[in-house]
Amino acid sequence: MLKIENLSVSLDGKQLLTDINMTVARGARHLLSGHNGSGKSTLVGTIAGNPEYHVDAGRIIFDGCDITNENTTTRALMGIFLGAQNVPEIPGLTVLSFLKHSTAAHRHFDTGRDLSMGEFLQNLEDAREKLNIPRDWLNRSINVGFSGGERKRLMLLRLIMTTPKLAILDEPDSGADASVQTQIVQTMREMTETTFLFISHQQHFTDMVQPTHITTLSAGKVMIE
User: Given pLDDT bands bounded at 50, 70 and 90, which one contains residue 225?
Assistant: low
pLDDT digits (tens, 9 = 90+) for 139-155: 999 999 898 889 999 99
pLDDT band at 18 (very low <50, low <70, confident <90, very high): very high
Q: How many residues does the chain have?
A: 225
**β 2-11/14-24 pair status:** antiparallel
Ramachandran sector of residue 220 (left: φ over 0; alpha: ψ -120 to 50; beta: rest) = left
CATH architecture assigned to 2-222: 3-Layer(aba) Sandwich (3.40)
Helices (H), 14-171: 40-48, 72-78, 95-111, 117-131, 148-162
Assign 46 a pLDDT band (cuts: 50, 70, 90): very high
Q: 85, 170 in Cβ contact below 8 A?
A: yes
* pLDDT score, position 78: 95
pLDDT of residue 148: 87
pLDDT of residue 96 exceeding 80, the answer is yes
Spell out the domain ranges in the chain.
Answer: 2-222
